[in-house]
Structure 1
Amino acid sequence: MSNDSYPQGPNHDTFAPGERVRVMLPLPLSEAYEYRVGADLRLTGGDFVEVPLGRRNLVGVVWGGGAGGIEEGRLRPVSSRVDLPPLPEVSRRIVEWVAEYTVSPPGAVLRMAMSVPEALHAPRARLVYGLATASPLPAALTPARRRVVDALMAGPPRPSAELVRDAGVSPAVIRAMVDAGIVIAQASDDSLPSPDWRRAGPALIPGQAAAARELCAAVDGGYRVLVVDGQPGAGKTEVYFEAIAATLAAGRQVLVLLPEIALGAQWLARFAARFGVPPLVWHSEVGQAVRRRTWRSVLTGEAAVVVGARSALFLPFPNLGLIVVDEEHDGSFKQEDGVAYHARDMAVVRARLGAIPVALVSATPSLETIINARRGRYHLLTLPDRPGAAPLPAIELVDLTRDRPARGGFVAPSLAAALAETTARGEQALLFLNRRGYAPLTLCRGCGHRMACPACTAWLVEHRLIRRLICHHCGFAVALPEACPSCGATDTLAACGPGVERLAEEIGALFPQLRWVMATSDTLTGPREAADLVRRIEAHEIDAIIGTQIVAKGYHFPLLTLVGVIDADLGLSGGDLRAAERTFQLLSQVAGRAGRAERSGRALLQTTMPAHPLMTALASGDRQRFLAAEEAARAATAMPPFGRLAALILSARDETQVDAAARALAQTAPRVPGVRILGPAPAPLALLRGRHRRRFLVHGGKAVRLSPLIRAWMAQVRLPSAVRIQVDIDPFSFL
């Protein structure tokens, strides 16, 4: 990503009745539409307004004065102003910046900032039910009424549905108690509890304290990017909690971005312990009512701290004072559907536009971040030590060419022995395999037929627990067949390769008494399931966790002393330019789960390539040697961060149509010194969700601005409406 200058954003003039205004609508439109201010209105830039569009009325945002290019008689008046504070100027500027940089319609980016249409309208008053205090309780109560009284005496007034659930009664009991004057209904106080920044946090060791002082000093100091680089278990969270406290003390809002916020149960508990109340949470699993309330409270400035997934970046903060991007290296921050953007990079832009600090936090910072720190654009804060007595876990390589698993198995004897020793001591283990399901491929031993997705260029993954074959790209699912669909033979379909379900089956057979749990996105579908998993592990109801990357980061379990990686080579295949870096980061993170408290830990990495530079760097703990090799390889080919990449992917249900569109685009490809355009070629996933895909890759030097070049290129070709084009500046996935 570049810090090149892009549009400086809309103005915020005042507009009197009869004047022209441009209104941006949350639709995939390339420009704002012009309207006339109604007779009874006075508007300012950023106001939410209702305007006619065709036969509908939509809510948009006043984006500035009209250009005057439309005849007066064709102008339609703004219908009304929505009773809300205006969209902050910095939010409008980030909308235009992201739209320009990602080659997206500004209206499509605005839709991300107005993602909860219901929040534009005042919520209905909620009724809560509490005990009447004006008169004493009746001497005699039925058991059901007694349960209601006990529930209300043990907690605050609450909505009827919650009271019914907590007391285990029917709604009729509540209504009868209201009629009898025992319970009263009253309007809910929806004010948000404020985090208490005065509460003391844990004592910091010297390295933490020094980093915390620098972070706190950056608050109210204008734009600055600070990189918090600390080994797993170094206490990075407690360091940036100090900066959050300083920001709250200054009366400003805070945004924390986490890659797996739906599963951040431990993080939320740590925040509540530090500040007395939980933060507001923003992610796809949050219910619509909570999203509505959160969006409005952010806009009004009532929300003090929001922790969220990448989409939280577009919440309308009027008084944002600090952004924290935790696990900044994580690929989950990259959005690839719709508007393709990287939340880490856009967080840096948002901080620059708002003149505030942003902290990028990671145990394994991305190469882009490290290079920016070396060049002085970012300020590096290093945490060299772990609090407590436990050192970093020892990382050992298990050579699968010599230490072979049993026939049909995937756990090497040395890892099985380490698992037995660890659990015999009353400690816990994590077995890591980054493959969901039972097996990644099912084929017929008779005719060789492979079970493939009909809508994607992908094999179907067997999920034996639910007896389904599932495509992990489009979600297509089918029941496990009894016979080969190609040759009709029975008992010939074979599962090839391991998934976590198959690993769990093997562990169950090797250790029948072991208490294990499987942790994947299939089993941890939201915060409630994640919180329950954390509780069970912390209570030592679990001996071994068998999981995917969902458990590779952020968790802290004092009894977890062994990590076993079943297939450490898994991420090294394919043509992804970041494959080695991602593998190094993931394996470092998962190994770092071991030995997080007073107990020392060890990590065993099963590999068929023990001499691979990545494996030797992991085993020796020499991160710098790996990064130096990775940097040299990228620099030699001018790949990011030493050059720039963009992808254009065309797709259509008709293969002939998408090929014709790709040829037309190729014929108008720009000829610019220092820019190479590769393609068109079938994308690695040439068929995805029933659409045929062709890809161009645009490669340029560091000084080349690809966004305007691609925008001008696309403007030369009028593609059929059936052909979609997706632009991805700085692509992370090459599928």
Structure 2
Amino acid sequence: MKYFEIIPLTTINKTLLYKFDKKLALGNIVEITIKKKSLLGIVIIERREKDINFDKNKILKIRSSLDIKFKSSHLNFIRYLSQHYFIDLGLAFKISIGSEVNIKKNIKNYLEFKSCIYETKKHLLEKNKLSNKQFNTLFNSNEIKEIENGFLFKKPNLPIKLNLEQQEIFTEIKKNVRNNYSCHLIDGVTGSGKTELYFQFILRALEQKKQILVMLPEIALTEDWSSRFNKYFGCNPYIWHSKQTANKKNRILRSLIKGEPCVVVGARSSVLLPFKNLSLIICDEEHDSSYKQDDGPKYNARDMAILKANKEKCLCLLVSASPSLETLYNVSLNKITHHKLLNQFSKTLLPKIILVDMNIHKPSHKSWISKEMFKATNKVLEKKGQVLFFLNRRGYAPIKICIECHTSLQCDNCATNLVYHKSINKLICHQCASNYNSNQICKKCSSSKFISLGIGLERLQEEVTRLFPGKKNQIFSSDTLKIKTNKKIFFENVFKNKTNILIGSQIIGKSFHFANLKLVNIIDGDSTLYSPDFRALEKTYQLFQQVAGRSGREGEQGSVIIQSYNINHSIFQSIKKQNRDEFLRSELKRRHLSNLPPYFKIGVISIIHKKQEQLREIKFEIVSSAKKLKLQIYGPTPALIPYKKNHYHEIFFFKELSYRSLERNISSLLSSINQQNQRFLNIDIDPINIS
């Protein structure tokens, strides 16, 4: 009999001892029993029989061994993720495969016909207009075949043409890659052809029969990216994200674990997948804060991409038009090699930036579009160009207040205002997604009369429709793009110039290419400048640079108009001069003087509890323990939203010069806290903000 320490795929941070009548390799996935419940687990260590000093008859047997094994580099990678981000080891392994269902589910093979892959028989019949009888004939003659691998690349569909600037970077990076780890930043202005450049690296890896991971910050971007990929490579990539079916995920996992050559494109969770034959990781829009998991296990997918490349001894490409300060800081430490694309691929001049001082050019009553913006928009529309109005605020109005007592409508579950969505006539909480009828009674004075304050995308659309009659407009936001059919129609209308005016939130600034877009109008340039978030200036600069980059990507030079009540702010002046380096120097200096990232490492400990009294007790225990251990800890302070999803939130945080010190101090504190209270604590390493 053999003895093994198994980590169950559940919320547990320690291994359990099991026995089996055969030798198992480390990383083997096995089926075990815990409290009469069947679970999957992973073999972590083999124990010698003589080291076990208790009754071996009490040790449970492993029920069965699956024909699936994680390689040692993946085991080490997940161990680091667990330790660094304080995620239970069993949970870390579980999220690396999405769910147990993805491994245990019996799956059907793909179907291949005329060099095309089909997931189902129904899909094949519809695409090729075949009857069941014709299908059976073709299947029996082996013209339609069952295959396991759903990724079929034979040769490029179109040549990937690089200009001199791109070719020099490709040659330089290729020269330094020798089946070993290296990390490179491809820093190019919007429209410079960063995607085509990294497509050349994908082609090279596929020709070597390797596996490739491409990470995108949003699920909504995967479809557009996949279409672009298919155009060049003549096949479809695997798509991995939380909304994929268990069947699709299982098929992808099977290919990855077997080491079959393929390209996987996905959101942040894709970085945790168990590749066997990985040679290239691409993190597109590496600066995007969406790469940081905000709910559930908190990890930074970009940082984990770099670590994964290191563990797998492969090439990592970080790609951005506005790199994060952390990445640029690592460039200065020679941890990442920096490559710049300074010119647009189409050789078009970068867009002209125009600042509109709203103190002088005030729009009329109940209007948000200045005369300058109105005139410029009309001029572009007359020439058959397209215009984007940008506002990073969903819904119709961010606040509804009582006419009598001026009390705002708030969510019952969160300390936050409800947002009115006129399109569905509902009030929605953007924290917990609760819906309320629009007919509300004021809880303070019982009045039923409310007015809407502020502007959201829907209200902006009303004004755009009024000012530009006869011009077709469309809202592009996470609300409208989440329906697949809507998304397809919306983008077809834009590409065929059926939509004249786009009205979008931040998602519109991510990787989309609109050839005829000639003007970008930023309605409220001040909305994110004065946030308590220490990254507010960096995020604002990146967002405006990305959105501005949608203008004038082909043909004549585009324009960007930014409305602000503070046009002399350094951020607007840097954008106008298109002097990013000036802004970066200033922001890095401010961070250094304030002991903030990237110079210091931050770890936040949140206390989340339904009852305020119990939260207060845990708070006092943390303060007392930190004092005994002589740890420098900041807080407690209420979170920016102190009551969310029916729970009170308060935070403490550590600031240290190194991750090692940060991990050590948090671990020391946690070990001194009552175990019952630990379940109400949430650890966040490298938080997006600490407000």
Mapping for residues 587-602 of structure 1, pairs under 5 Å: 587-602=544-559
Matched to 1:684, the amino acid is L
| Aligned: 1:436 with 2:394 | yes
Report the number of matched residues.
Answer: 686
The change in CA–CA distance for 1:708 and 1:323 in structure 2 (over 3 A counts) is same
RMSD: 2.6
Match of 1:697 in 2: 653
Task: Tell me which residue corresponds to 1:572.
Answer: 529
Q: Deviations over 1:358-380 (max 9, x none)?
A: 11110000111111112211100
Q: Distance in 2 between matches of 1:255 and 1:480?
A: 45
**Once the 2 structures are TM-superposed, how far is the Cα of residue 179 of structure 1 from its aligned partner?**
13
Partner of 2:579: 622
Helix, strand or coil at the partner of 1:120: helix
Q: Distance in 1 between matches of 2:679 and 2:96?
A: 27
Which runs of structure 2 are paired with 1:10-409 in the superposition (5 Å)? 18-38=1-21, 41-66=22-47, 68-69=51-52, 71=54, 72-84=56-68, 86-121=69-104, 123-125=106-108, 159=120, 161-162=122-123, 188-196=146-154, 201-409=159-367
State the shift of 1:293 in Å. Answer: 1.1
- Secondary structure of the residue that 1:91 maps to in structure 2? helix
Structure-2 separation of matches of 1:317 and 1:530 = 31
1:237 counterpart SS class: helix
Query: Which residue pairs with 1:687 in the alignment?
Result: 643
Cα distance in 2 between the residues matched to 1:29 and 1:545: 48
Alpha-carbon distance, 1:577 to partner: 0.8
Match of residue 413, structure 1, among 353, 371, 377: 371
Measure the CA separation in 1 of the matches of 2:292 and 2:345. 32
AA in 2 matched with 1:51: I
Mean CA deviation greater in 298-307 or 62-71: 62-71
- Matched residues in 2 for 1:179 and 1:607: separation? 63
- Structure 2 length as normaliser, TM-score? 0.94
Distance in 2 (CA, whole Å) between partners of 1:671 and 1:641 is 29
- State yes or no: 1:711 paired with 2:667: yes
Contact 2:237–2:263, Cα closer than 8 Å, also in 1: yes
Q: Secondary structure at the match of 1:522?
A: helix
What is the CA distance between 1:57 and its match in structure 2? Answer: 1.9
Residues 275-284 or 471-480, more deviating: 275-284
| Residue aligned with 1:217, SS | helix
- Give the CA deviation at 1:328: 0.3
Using a 3 Å threshold, how does the CA distance of structure 1 residues 62 and 115 change in structure 2: closer, same or farther?
A: same
Alignment CA distance shift 1:37-1:653 (3 Å): same
- In structure 2, distance between residues paired with 1:309 and 1:114: 14
Residue type at the aligned position of 2:2: E
User: Which region of structure 1 is more displaced relative to structure 2, 405-414 or 215-224?
Assistant: 215-224
Q: Which runs of 5+ in 1 are unaligned?
A: 1-17, 131-152
For residues 681 and 155 of structure 1, what CA distance do their matches in structure 2 show?
Answer: 58
- Tell me the equivalent position of 1:474: 432
Q: Which residue does the alignment assign to 1:13?
A: none
Q: Specify the alignment match of 2:685 in structure 1.
A: 729
Residues 1:483 and 1:688: Cα distance change in structure 2 (over 3 Å): closer
Quote the offset at 1:219 in angstroms.
4.0
1:687 and 1:411 mapped to 2: Cα distance? 35
Most deviating of 114-123 and 432-441: 114-123
Cα offset for 1:533?
2.2
1:465 matched to 2:446: no
- 1:115–1:168 distance in 2 versus 1, CA, 3 Å: same
How far the C-alpha of 1:204 sits from its partner, in A, is 1.6
Report the alpha carbon displacement of residue 111 of structure 1 after superposing the two structures with TM: 1.0
What secondary structure is seen at the aligned counterpart in 2 of 1:523?
A: helix
Equivalent residue letter for 2:482: T
Find out whether 1:453 has 2:437 as its counterpart: no
Task: Give the whole-Å Cα distance in 2 for the aligned partners of 1:699 and 1:483.
Answer: 46
User: Structure 1: which amino acid aligns with 2:537?
Assistant: A
SS class of match (2:676) = coil
Query: Which among 497, 510, 515 is matched to residue 553 of structure 1?
Result: 510
The range that moved more, 717-726 or 254-263, is 717-726
Contact 1:116 1:295 in 2 (8 A): no
| Contact persistence 2:17–2:59 (CA under 8 A) | yes
CA separation in 2, counterparts of 1:378 and 1:257? Answer: 18
- Do the aligned partners of 2:209 and 2:261 also contact (CA within 8 Å) in 1? no
CA deviations over 1:64-119 (Å, ceiling 9, x no partner): 113745622221121111123x1121111111001111122111111111323233
| Change in CA separation of 1:233 and 1:370 when aligned onto 2, cut-off 3 Å | same
The structural deviation recorded for 1:286 is: 2.1
Counterpart residue identity of residue 488, structure 1: S
Counterpart CA distance in 2 for 1:718 and 1:274 is 57
| 1:83 alignment partner, SS class | strand
Runs of 5+ unmatched residues, structure 2: none
Quote the offset at 1:160 in angstroms: 5.5
Distance 1:335 1:462, change over 3 A: same
Summarize the Cα distance change of 1:533–1:263 in structure 2 as closer, same or farther, 3 Å threshold: farther
Matched to 1:324, the amino acid is I
Q: Does structure 1 retain, via aligned residues, the 8 Å contact 2:286–2:318? A: yes
Aligned mates of 2:137, 2:282 — CA distance in 1: 50
TM-score normalized by the length of structure 1 = 0.88
Counterpart pick for 1:493 among 431, 447, 450:
450
Q: 1: distance between equivalents of 2:292 and 2:168?
A: 31
Single out whichever of 247-256 and 190-199 deviates more from structure 2. Answer: 190-199
1:184 CA drift (Å): 7.7
Give 1:44's aligned amino acid: A
Distance, in Å, in 2 between the alignment partners of 1:205 and 1:277 is 25
Which residue of structure 1 aligns with residue 498 of structure 2? 541
- Match of residue 4 from structure 1: none
CA distance in 1, matches of 2:199, 2:669: 46
Distance 1:513 1:311 in 2: 43
CA distance in 1, matches of 2:453, 2:295: 31
The CA deviation at 1:201 is: 3.0
CA shift for structure 1 position 354: 1.4
Maintained 8 Å contact 2:362/2:370: yes
Q: Which amino acid aligns with 1:548?
A: S
What's the offset of the Cα at 1:216?
Answer: 2.8
Deviations 1:623-680, CA, capped at 9 Å, x for gaps: 111111101100101111111111000111111111111111111016788x631111
Question: Does the 8 Å contact 1:215/1:243 carry over to 2?
Answer: no
Residue matched to 2:632: 676
Instruction: Please name the residue that 1:145 is paired with.
Output: none
Q: Counterpart of 2:353 in structure 1: which amino acid?
A: I
The structure-2 alpha-carbon separation of the partners of 1:446 and 1:390, relative to structure 1 and needing over 3 Å to count, comes to same
| Pair 42,702 (structure 1): closer, same or farther in 2 beyond 3 Å | closer
Q: Does structure 2 conserve the Cα–Cα contact (< 8 Å) formed by 1:322 and 1:356?
A: yes
- Secondary structure of the 1:44 match is coil
How far 1:584 moved relative to its partner? 0.1
Matched AA of 1:26: L
Q: CA deviation at 1:530?
A: 3.0
Structure 1 residue 397 displacement after superposition: 0.8
| Corresponding position of 1:149 | none
Residue 95 of structure 1 contacts residue 110 of structure 1 at CA under 8 Å; is this kept in 2? yes
1:475-496 deviation digits (Å, cap 9, x = unpaired): 1110101554432334x31111
Tell me how far 1:198 sits from its aligned partner.
5.3
Residue 696 of structure 1 aligns to a residue whose secondary structure is: strand
- Which letter does structure 1 place at the counterpart of 2:64? S
